[in-house]
Chains A and B, each alone.
Chain A
Amino acid sequence: MDNQVEKKKKTNPFLTYFKDLGTAIAKGDVSVKLSMLFMGAGYTFHKQVIKGILVTLIEIAFIIMCIFYAAPNLAKFGTLGTVQFEQVLDPLTLQTTVNDYDNSFTILLNSIIALFLIVCFILFWISNMKSVYRLQVLDNEPESLTKKHINTFREDVRSLFSEKFHLTLLSLPALGVILMNIIPIFVLIAIAFTNYDQAHMPPNALFTWVGVSNFKSLFANSLTVTFGYAFRKILGWTLLWAVLATLTTFIFGILLAMLINSKTTKLPKMWRTLFIVAIAVPQFVTLLLVRYFFGDTGIVNSICSNIGVTEFLKSVGLVSQHLNYIPFLSSEHWAKFMIVMINIWVGVPYQMLIATGVLMNIPSDQIESAKIDGATNFQAFIHITMPYILFIQGPSLITDFVKNINNFNVIYLLTNNAFITPDQKLANSNAKEVDLLVTWLFRLTNDYYNYKMASVIGIIVFVICAVFTILSFTRMISGDREGDYQ
């Protein structure tokens, strides 16, 4: 019986949420009903005067916010502003006067914040109604030994440091997350539906809603708009890159860890530290350095041409005849190859560290008994070590994959200023063959101010990442063992 009740509650949390509100309004006394308008009324009537005043103050603040902040912004939210920026130079006083223009971006941002505040307030209002009703029930209970005591204000404050401590702890970090993560995501989504670009830059120009036309142009392909072409090419390379980067570093990381862990190795700790030194240097320094290392006139190229490697590659056909250098980072296929190789250089020490940790926990009796049964080293590796590592690291592999989709540093630092696309269609969309979606997005915003298309790309990447994130996430959560030690 109890189980059934619990099940019902679990399946319909939303229903109970509104049902409780309904009960509060229907069964509440005059003061509770009055709380619908004056939020503090219920508290004040039921002996919690200070709380009542505070809640009413919040309500007043909210109303003031609505009148002076939300209303003027939301009124223009439909058009994102109509008054164009104008500057008039007064020839007599030589002073410029600027008219009371609309800034589309400010309107957009403020409207989103205002909507956010309004939603928060509605939730606050609902929970207020419920707690006022609970207070009424508590207050009307007949005097008895089991009757719960109504908290004074002082006790309420104290509870924030004892049983409600989590509210105190979470409020500041949550505020930060709202400011840095949640509001930007909403802004990003909104911009994708506007025509915000270089021709529509506030404050000098207005931008407005254009519906889904940006999404259409991402898949369109005409002589002037080549986003569809560029998008397909870059998406393909992004996914290929993410798979290659994740697998290569993963496999070579395990191999390197096993090489160092092997019983033959003297001083394994020293070897490990030497590899770690390579990644301890900040990534932007090493990557920029490597870019010059492999530059068209860089040192590797001059060494290669001295010892005849360049000529050899020319004769094999890997380097085209009219070049007298190896285009490590300046021709498409070479650059893609080099990026993956350099990423191995960057990523393998990390994976080696992790794999070392995992390998140390591997049950050695299994491997030993397999060897007694006549398994070779290789068989033991394939049938025992690998499945174990995959089991432990499976979820983090997917996380790595998502991280590689967004691996900005490696691609941008290696190819910016070094790679120029020969493909006119890609150049029209400000893209390059070696770009990932994120580096394309970054260039679109940082160099070309094409915010609308960047937002659309951002949303697409979001969706791709979300799918993989949720894939790995369900596995991570399902095996939650937080209670094990407690």
Chain B
Amino acid sequence: MKKVIKGIFHHLFLLILVVVWLVPILWLVVTAFSGYPGINKTHFFPETWTTANFEKLLLHPDSVVQYGAWFKNTLIISIFTCIISTAFVLMVSYAFSCTRFKGRKALMSFSIILNMFPGVLSMIAVYFVLKSLNLTNSHLGMIIVYSAGSGLGYLIVKGFMDTIPISLREAARLEGATELQIFTKIVIPVCKPIIVYQVINSFLIPWGDFVFAKLMLNKGISKDYTVAIGLYNMLDRSLVNQYFSIFCAGGFVVSIPISILFIIMQKYYVEGVTSGSVKG
């Protein structure tokens, strides 16, 4: 009996925590269906329910809301970012894990240290480098921002490649395979699960990034924005009272694919974070 009561309290406590964690998400969802366009300051649930926000968002773009265009922009940027980053990370990981050359360890250490310096700090300089290349306010510039330095984040994939038995590569080498063939025909197929992680991870960057997008696309026209910047601009003081529920609808729509990808990825996330440290 005591055990049952303890179990009930245990689950009740968990339930309270879950409610606390999900209240803002719930507010996002219900406000997305609200008939009142501004911020509902007195009631948690909207007084009138409607799907008009979604219709406006997806079907009737105006000067502020260009959701379709934003979604397309972000999609294009993230697809290219994803391809380039994944290629870079695989290349660097293979070079560090499967080949041996002079200065390899030093280069690895240097890369890790460099990678830990956050991009936010040097962003002014990045902005001006790209400006002098005439790449600000362009999607190509965004792709470069997100993917150019990605080779530094090799640690997780390299850790995975380190677990591939060396005999596999030796055997191929004896058969006369070149390193290129070993890389593409043997190592990459074995690495599939970690490639899934890498692909999703780099795909998600442009969807969640706010700082660089704001800096790089600030002077552009609304049509060129990414979802993050577009949604942020809706909350401008002069717009928020007409667009808040549309903002929620937009946030809700973008969250669905992102959440699914994130939940697929989360089991690798743990490996990723601890792989740098679980060395004991």
Q: Which positions 84-109 of chain B face chain A at CB distance < 8 Å?
A: 88, 91-92, 94-95, 97, 99, 101, 104, 109
Interface string of A260-293 (1 = CB under 8 A from B): 1010111000010111111111111110111011
Q: Is the CB of B18 within 8 A of A282?
A: no
Q: Which positions 145-194 of chain A face chain B at CB distance < 8 Å?
A: 158, 161-163, 165-166, 168-170, 172-174, 176-177, 179-185, 187-188, 191
Choice from A282, A349, A441, A473 contacting B255 with Cβ under 8 Å: A282
How distant is B134 from chain A, measured CB to nearest CB, in Å?
Answer: 12
Q: Provide the residues of chain B in CB contact with A396, threshold 8 Å.
A: 273-274, 276-277
Q: Does B128 contact A (CB under 8 A)?
A: yes
Q: Is the CB of B95 within 8 A of A169?
A: yes
Q: Is the CB of A188 within 8 A of B122?
A: yes
Q: Is the CB of B121 within 8 A of A403?
A: no
In angstroms, Cα B122 to Cα A221, docked, is 26
Contacts A259-B14, A285-B231; is A177 near B114 (CB within 8 Å)?
A: yes
Most buried by A among B7, B11, B22, B99: B99
Q: Is the CB of A180 within 8 A of B126?
A: yes
In angstroms, Cα B59 to Cα A181, docked, is 41
Q: Is the CB of A179 within 8 A of B144?
A: yes
Q: Does A302 contact B (CB under 8 A)?
A: yes
Q: Is the CB of A273 within 8 A of B277?
A: no
In angstroms, Cα B178 to Cα A356, docked, is 42
Most buried by B among A281, A349, A458, A484: A281
Q: Chain B: how many interface residues by the 8 Å CB criterion?
A: 100
Q: Is the CB of B179 within 8 A of A185?
A: no
Q: Provide the residues of chain A in CB contact with B109, threshold 8 Å.
A: 473, 477
Most buried by B among A105, A106, A177: A177
Q: Provide the residues of chain B in CB contact with A455, threshold 8 Å.
A: 124
In angstroms, Cα B235 to Cα A413, docked, is 11
The segment out of A26-34, A55-63, A308-316, A387-395 that lies at the interface is A387-395
Q: Does B1 contact A (CB under 8 A)?
A: no
Interface size class on chain A is 35 or more
Contacts A169-B91, A191-B125, A446-B215; is A394 near B232 (CB within 8 Å)?
A: no
Q: Is the CB of A276 within 8 A of B22?
A: no
Q: Is the CB of A184 within 8 A of B129?
A: yes
In angstroms, Cα B159 to Cα A480, docked, is 10
Contacts A461-B121, A469-B116; is A177 near B148 (CB within 8 Å)?
A: yes
Q: Provide the residues of chain A in CB contact with B25, threshold 8 Å.
A: 277-278, 281, 286
Q: Provide the residues of chain B in CB contact with A302, threshold 8 Å.
A: 41-42
How distant is A136 from chain B, measured CB to nearest CB, in Å?
Answer: 21
Contacts A173-B151, A289-B24, A486-B166; is A281 near B121 (CB within 8 Å)?
A: no
Interface string of B257-274 (1 = CB under 8 A from A): 011001100100111011
Choice from B92, B132, B276 contacting A106 with Cβ under 8 Å: B132
Q: Is the CB of B88 within 8 A of A357?
A: no
Q: Does B63 contact A (CB under 8 A)?
A: no
Q: Does B174 contact A (CB under 8 A)?
A: no
The majority secondary structure among interface residues of chain A is: helix
Q: Does A417 contact B (CB under 8 A)?
A: yes
Q: Is the CB of A274 within 8 A of B128?
A: no
Q: Is the CB of A393 within 8 A of B42?
A: no
Most buried by A among B14, B126, B147: B14
Contacts A165-B95, A169-B94; is A462 near B277 (CB within 8 Å)?
A: no
A contact set with B: CB distance below 8 Å = 105-106, 109, 158, 161-163, 165-166, 168-170, 172-174, 176-177, 179-185, 187-188, 191, 256, 259-260, 262, 264-266, 271, 273-286, 288-290, 292-293, 295, 297-299, 302-303, 345, 349-350, 353-354, 356-358, 391-396, 399, 402-403, 406, 408-409, 412-413, 417, 438, 441-442, 445-446, 451, 454-455, 458, 461-462, 465-466, 469-470, 473, 475-477, 479-486
B contact set with A: CB distance below 8 Å = 6-7, 10-11, 13-14, 17-18, 20-22, 24-25, 27-28, 39-44, 88, 91-92, 94-95, 97, 99, 101, 104, 109, 111-114, 116-118, 120-126, 128-129, 132, 144-145, 147-152, 158-159, 162-166, 178-180, 183, 207-208, 210-211, 214-215, 218, 228, 231-232, 235, 237, 244, 247-248, 251, 254-255, 258-259, 262-263, 266, 269-271, 273-274, 276-280
CB-based closest 9 A-B pairs: A173-B151, A479-B279, A184-B125, A176-B148, A280-B259, A165-B179, A357-B270, A285-B251, A187-B125
